[in-house]
Chain A
Amino acid sequence: MRRRAVLKFGAAGVGAFGLTLAVGWWRADGPGALAPVGERPLPLSEMGFRLTDHEGQLVEPSDLIGQPSLVFFGFTYCPDVCPTTLSDISGWLDALAEDADRLNVVFITVDPERDTVDAMAEYVGYFHPAIRGWTGPEDQVAQAVEDFRATYEKVPAEVGGYTMNHTASVFLFDASGDFASTIDYHEPREYAVPKIRRAIEETSEGAT
């Protein structure tokens, strides 16, 4: 117990130092050069929303702490980008083989009106079994999008009522729940998989 606390503290120190460096890089040269640092997702521990997973269980972001996590937004009435994202991620998970068990993978819908728990269950069932589908009340989904510093908007469509524009990036968090990086959907497997593997390996190093 005590050893754990020391480790945690140590990890936090290293994390803080790393973050200082990372923020510097992020501000100066990184993709964050255009967006303020405040645009990065909150740590999972500071997020404040509750949703229901595709098996009907109440879930919250802090449930994900303990393993690295991949989180992304989408909706099941999206014919192109969302199945592509889910199948790309399924491909990454296939490449990770049994290491995929050491990862949380969460698909949060931005269209809770149509994406009920049952709709999410049916949809995620076609992809890698590690992928969880989260939905819930409109205000909780809005809170989730805000906590991730993501965006979404409902756009009227000629047919089918409406479509949704939404942030397409996949957010990668480390095991302590801090934001690590984003992976673009469509990012080639040879870049995406090492990013995820690094997060998993950092977790196992931290545990020994």
Chain B
Amino acid sequence: MDRMTLAALAALVAFSAPGKVFAGSEDVVVEQPWARASIGVSRPGAAYMTVLNKGEEAVTLTGLSTPLAKMLEIHRSSTTAEGLSTMAPAGEITISPGESVALEPGGLHAMLMRLQTAMIEGETFPLTLAFSDGGEVTVDVPILGIAARGPEG
């Protein structure tokens, strides 16, 4: 599958929300999702993307899910003044109108825990973002190599 098809698929999935009126989440666009391949299933995986709020209401990202992992949380890596790298759940993330939140290496990331299957380079998996207004956005996340540095590989 080439990149264009992937993007088209992702867009299709993203806009196929049920016919209910949501307060904000229908204006959420997920751009450039990608993940690193895993070695087997024992180690947690990570996925990255930019979540854009194109609407006029603030939206709060409350949860993530995928059939690939039993547990998914947004974690934040940070480095203390002493140079110690730490990682902790980021909690709920609110995105103001017109703003975006970047999940990128060394910062916020979707952490995939208790993987059900290995994350294999070249494959994709669906990832659903749930928002506080009850809306959901699902994107297809391409899996890149373990050494990938960004959505371009």
Contact = CB atoms under 8 A, between A and B. Distances in A.
Given A77-B44, A160-B113, A83 B147 contact: yes
Given A159-B71, A165-B85, A84 B114 contact: no
Given A77-B44, A168-B83, A84 B105 contact: yes
B111 A80 contact: yes
A87 B86 contact: no
Interface of B: 36, 39, 42-46, 71, 75, 77, 79, 81-87, 89, 105-106, 109, 111-114, 145-149
B84 A81 contact: no
B43 to A, nearest CB: 5
Chain B interface, DSSP helix/strand/loop, else mixed: strand
A63 interface: no
Contact of B87 (A123, A127, A163, A185): A163
B39 A91 contact: no
Contacts, number: 87
A88 interface: yes
A127 B106 CA distance: 18
Interface string A171-196: 00000000000101110000000000
A168 B85 CA distance: 5
B113 A185 contact: no
A52 interface: no
Contact of A90 (B36, B42, B83, B147): B147
A159 B43 contact: no
A151 to B, nearest CB: 6
Contacts of A167: 82-85
A135 B84 CA distance: 20
A81 B39 CA distance: 16
Nearest to B148: A87
21 contacts: A34-B81, A77-B44, A80-B77, A80-B106, A83-B36, A83-B105, A83-B146, A86-B147, A87-B146, A90-B147, A126-B39, A127-B146, A127-B147, A151-B84, A158-B89, A165-B87, A166-B84, A166-B85, A167-B85, A168-B84, A186-B105
